[in-house]
Structure 1
Amino acid sequence: MNEVAIKKKLRRIRAGGAPRVLDLFAGCGGLSLGFQASGARIEAAVESDPDAARSHGLNFHKGDPRHSSARDITDTTPQALCDELGMGNPAAAFDIIVGGPPCQAFARVGRSKLREVADHPEAFRHDPRARLYIEYLDYVEACHPLAVVLENVPDMLNHGGHNIAEEICEVLASRGYVCGYTLLNSAFYGVPQMRERMFLIALHETLGEDVSFPLPTHRINLPTGYGSSRLVALKHLEALAVRNGKAHFLTPPAAQGALPMAVSARQAIGDLPRIDARALLASGELKRCARRFDQPVPYNQPKRPNAYVKAMRNWPGLATPAAISDHVIRYLPRDYALFARLKPGDQYPEAFRMAERMLDEALKQLAAEGKPIRRNSAAWEKLRASIVPPYDPTKFPNKWRKMEPDLPARTLMAHLGKDSYSHIHYDSDQARTISVREAARLQSFPDGFRFCGTMNPAFRQIGNAVPPLLAKAVAQSVMAALQPARVPTPAQLAFAGV
């Protein structure tokens, strides 16, 4: 480890210099935005998806082509990156490295698909994406950062019997870092979404600081599924810590004192313009075509915007005018009437039963009009296909969900890029899935943050991202270690109440 480079960086920061961040597997920039909001400077990013790379370059480097190009970390060395960006020696260019290697390789949801592809019961072990954290560590070795932050799904803690987070900590500890990792749920940090993720922080020993994670700012009783999966993970990890005194797992920080309730879906998106899908469909305004972001729509103007709405509209450096231009939805004509009849919290089995009921109603209406249709006839099959979704309700119980207005949303996934049925709007009058901007709001992206590409790539970028407000909370813990006596700027103080 280059001690000279480390000490030089530390002197610069403690003399008032802004920490310089390199974001690996950056996506559109959720982690970057959180660190920027905490006073860091986003120097560079590596992202292989072209649309996400363009989004990152647009939002953090004003669209500079050098910063908007897609790069594959497996064939972009730290020196090559610095050469392309005119940054010189990687060991001197960055103070913090952040990122999250693609989580699909660690998430249990992907393993069955990998087994099918490879016809091997342990195929997920051999998914090349599962090795990308090694490329991440190679960047740490070359760049000598003062701090490292890694984010991923909780399943990274038990990947084929391996705790990848613990293994990463062991590697980093051997390179002079003090390490710790834990589980954080974004709903505890002001994000209107229940999203459980593993966070790992490593601080160079020269800092003389221990790793700590941010205290919750909000409270919520996590529903079944989130709470039980966390308890199982904590039980496993705490047993590991008992068996091995060198384990780096830290118990998630507990709430202290009276805290406000978690931000709900209604609080997060209730001020956004109404989109009545059935009316738009009937008028012909909603058609099957690419959804672009070039039509500004005025906000609803609540008399007293809540704190979350104010933060999303007035994020420092990304404040918005009186309209938004990415409030677009999917064309799903078969399902709008079904969405209207679902209750908040209903999932696919309830939707399937309701659709079957709607089919019976339609058949009875035709019979009453003297136009009976024989069961299993071609006409019956056509009518059924126009009303009833084709998926087996026993195989896809969680494919759909109508959001509960007074709770944070459930986890937004990258699959939003293919469909949005996991997040059906709670308002039955609007009867639709969420828009791109509503998805961004539920991830805590401010309204001034722009997404490149059309609707599907934008949804995918949002679903893949780290919620910026959660990233900001983690960033503040890291910044406190780098700048123990730093004084927040007025903008940061004004933003601290989010």
Structure 2
Amino acid sequence: MNTKVAAGIDKKLERLRTGAPPRVMDLFSGAGGISLGFQRAGFSIEGALEMDPHAALTHALNFHPDSVRFAAHAHARDITLTDPAALCDELGLGTVDEAIDVLVGGPPCQAYARVGRAKLREVADHPEAFRVDPRGNLYLRYLEYVRAFQPLAVFIENVPDILHYAHHNVAEEIVEALEDIGYVAGYSLINSAFHGVPQMRDRVFLMAYRRELGLRVRFPAATHHLELPSGYAGTRAVALRYVDRLGSRGYIAPDLGSPELPHAVSAEEAVGDLPAVNGRTVKRGTRRFDTLYAYRSDRQPSAYARIMREWPGFASDQGVWDHVIRALPRDHQTFAEMRSGAEYPEAQATARRIVDRIAGERAILAGTTAYEALYNSIVPPYDVTKFPNRWWKLRPDFPVRTLMAHIGKDTYSHIHYDADQARTISVREAARLQSFPDGFRFSGTMNPAFRQIGNAVPPLMANALAEIIYADLEAAALHMAPQSHSLAAAELRGSSSVSKHVTYLTK
């Protein structure tokens, strides 16, 4: 470790010892799911980098609304064209190596996976190596930001495919690359339903600490329990096949809790206190967030709903502003008569039965023009053999399926469980299911807001991980004398594993 890096670590630790909050830079921030979780844990969100204009504005509106540099925070940026030092200058954060304590983000993995270990190791030796292969720009660029900022901790979120993309385990390679530039790293595959989010969302989370801190990576204990459906269990098995087959230094198995824990938060617990919307009465047109929808007076909020209403800094005591839905006049009868948990093949069969019933009531004969018109007005045209899970009606007693960015185009994957409402979920319901608090505002109109929500990391999941990092950094700051880096690093290098749940080595 060079003298400059050692001095930077000392300075950051000394600042934490004074009680100052750890500072975060959020790359690929989206609307700010990770930022929100870290802020709740006690971190200060110093800045973010996001290329989508709506998401960049959303992040600035929620985390820097009163900043004199609001315009700079709201500015959308491409990480491949943005220099770390220039970013710090634009945001007024000072020198890049002293600006932050924790770097977080979720760089896309698809292009990176073709690059592999050799290119990652090249980055460790040559900071500009990411420029020579644009296929891997985003991950390589993320690692260059790690080199530039020299954070005490690193946090990365990604899809399960990162564990078996193009026949190799990308997360393991990221661990190796981080180790080459001075970090101890580990990763896990965690389902958010085990941590209080009303959504069965599997994601890979990777955490790393500067080696000099003497910390080991650990992940939070489950707070809720759930028997995952067979489809999720199968997907997890596929995702972990290269972890199991090739072995792993960095993988840490998640805590799945026990049946004694509270059951995972259900859809009804998550959104049951929000006002009813009759899908049959909704008209087409642009959906703006300029109307306050009062909470239901006939429902008491669940414990989860109270968290969403009372989140520090984002509390709402009257209602929500973005409880808007799509107008889907063809489908509301089908939505009403589908059973909870039904998928598209059953939905189409339901629609056909509705047509036959109405045709019988009106004496409309099959094969006639009138029958064809009736059929087309009710039965969705999609092939039942393709994407059978494209439609899904929520179960009120169970967490929902993974929210995806695709809900920015349609919301058939999350049809409301209440037959009387006969509709898909609203923007605010999507936000609730993703664990965004009610006072968190999204920029743009309905479709961009849906997309931002689907792309986000659930804030409550991010918070569970952030609390671990906060506690570990606090322990390192309090128990590590400024000159003790060498001892801590030597002890860690003498260990054969980084997978044990030990908070720190030096006292």
Which TM-score tier does this pair reach, normalised by the shorter chain?
0.7 to 0.9
**Which amino acid in 1 is paired with 2:229?**
P
Give the Å deviation of 1:434.
0.3
Q: 2 CA distance for matches of 1:103 and 1:264?
A: 31
Q: 1:252 aligns with which of 226, 238, 254?
A: 254
Q: Which residue of 2 aligns with 1:190?
A: 196
Q: Does the aligned pair in 1 maintain the 2:163–2:242 contact within 8 Å?
A: no
Q: Which residue of 1 aligns with 2:223?
A: 217
- 1:172 to 2:178 alignment: yes
Which range moves more in the overlay, 60-69 or 96-105? 96-105
Give the Å deviation of 1:221.
0.5
Q: Which residue of 1 aligns with 2:128?
A: none
**Match of 2:154, SS?**
strand
- 1:33 to 2:36 alignment: yes
Q: 2:21 aligns with which of 14, 18, 23?
A: 18
Q: 1 CA distance for matches of 2:235 and 2:459?
A: 23
Aligned in 2, Cα 1:382/1:102: closer, same or farther, shift over 3 Å? farther
Q: Which residue of 2 aligns with 1:325?
A: 321
Q: 1:72 aligns with which of 55, 78, 84?
A: 78
**Which amino acid in 1 is paired with 2:472?**
A
**Match of 2:240, SS?**
helix
Give the Å deviation of 1:100.
0.4
1:76-115 alpha-carbon deviations (Å, 9 max, x no partner) = 11011112112221111011000001366699xxxxxxxx
Q: Which residue of 1 aligns with 2:101?
A: 95
**Match of 2:206, SS?**
strand
Return 5+ residue gaps in structure 2 as ranges. Answer: 114-132, 479-507
- 1:422 to 2:413 alignment: yes
Aligned in 2, Cα 1:17/1:221: closer, same or farther, shift over 3 Å? same
Q: 1 CA distance for matches of 2:242 and 2:172?
A: 13
Q: Which residue of 1 aligns with 2:126?
A: none
**Which amino acid in 2 is paired with 1:345?**
G
Give the Å deviation of 1:234.
3.5
Q: 2:278 aligns with which of 276, 283, 287?
A: 276
Q: 1:473 aligns with which of 455, 464, 474?
A: 464
Q: 1:349 aligns with which of 326, 345, 349?
A: 345
- 1:392 to 2:383 alignment: yes
1:343-362 alpha-carbon deviations (Å, 9 max, x no partner) = 00100000111112222223
Q: 2:435 aligns with which of 444, 448, 461?
A: 444
Q: 1 CA distance for matches of 2:214 and 2:27?
A: 26
- 1:57 to 2:63 alignment: no
**Which amino acid in 1 is paired with 2:285?**
C
Q: Which residue of 1 aligns with 2:129?
A: none
Q: 2 CA distance for matches of 1:129 and 1:421?
A: 33
Q: Which residue of 1 aligns with 2:404?
A: 413
Which range moves more in the overlay, 190-199 or 256-265? 256-265
Normalised TM-score (structure 2): 0.86
Q: Does the aligned pair in 2 maintain the 1:106–1:153 contact within 8 Å?
A: no
**Which amino acid in 2 is paired with 1:32?**
S
Q: 1:132 aligns with which of 131, 138, 153?
A: 138
Q: 1 CA distance for matches of 2:186 and 2:27?
A: 19
Q: Does the aligned pair in 2 maintain the 1:276–1:429 contact within 8 Å?
A: yes
- State how 1:298-337 maps to structure 2 within 5 Å: 298-301=294-297, 304-337=300-333
**Which amino acid in 2 is paired with 1:484?**
A
Aligned in 2, Cα 1:131/1:485: closer, same or farther, shift over 3 Å? closer
Aligned in 2, Cα 1:331/1:467: closer, same or farther, shift over 3 Å? same
Normalised TM-score (structure 1): 0.87
**Which amino acid in 2 is paired with 1:260?**
P
Q: 2 CA distance for matches of 1:307 and 1:142?
A: 42
Q: 1:434 aligns with which of 407, 425, 442?
A: 425
Q: Does the aligned pair in 2 maintain the 1:366–1:373 contact within 8 Å?
A: no
Q: 1 CA distance for matches of 2:286 and 2:243?
A: 46
- 1:338 to 2:341 alignment: no
Return 5+ residue gaps in structure 1 as ranges. Answer: 108-126, 281-285, 488-498
Q: 1 CA distance for matches of 2:88 and 2:352?
A: 59
Q: 1 CA distance for matches of 2:397 and 2:279?
A: 22
Give the Å deviation of 1:163.
1.3
Q: 2 CA distance for matches of 1:184 and 1:202?
A: 16
Q: Does the aligned pair in 1 maintain the 2:408–2:447 contact within 8 Å?
A: yes
Q: Does the aligned pair in 2 maintain the 1:106–1:156 contact within 8 Å?
A: no
Give the Å deviation of 1:15.
2.4
**Which amino acid in 2 is paired with 1:94?**
I
Q: How much is the aligned-residue C-alpha RMSD, in angstroms?
A: 2.0
Q: 1 CA distance for matches of 2:210 and 2:414?
A: 41
**Match of 2:269, SS?**
helix
Q: 2 CA distance for matches of 1:134 and 1:437?
A: 35
Q: 2 CA distance for matches of 1:163 and 1:141?
A: 22
What's the % identity of the aligned pairs? 57
Which range moves more in the overlay, 222-231 or 432-441? 222-231
Q: 2 CA distance for matches of 1:374 and 1:308?
A: 50
Q: Does the aligned pair in 2 maintain the 1:106–1:159 contact within 8 Å?
A: no
Q: Does the aligned pair in 1 maintain the 2:169–2:242 contact within 8 Å?
A: no
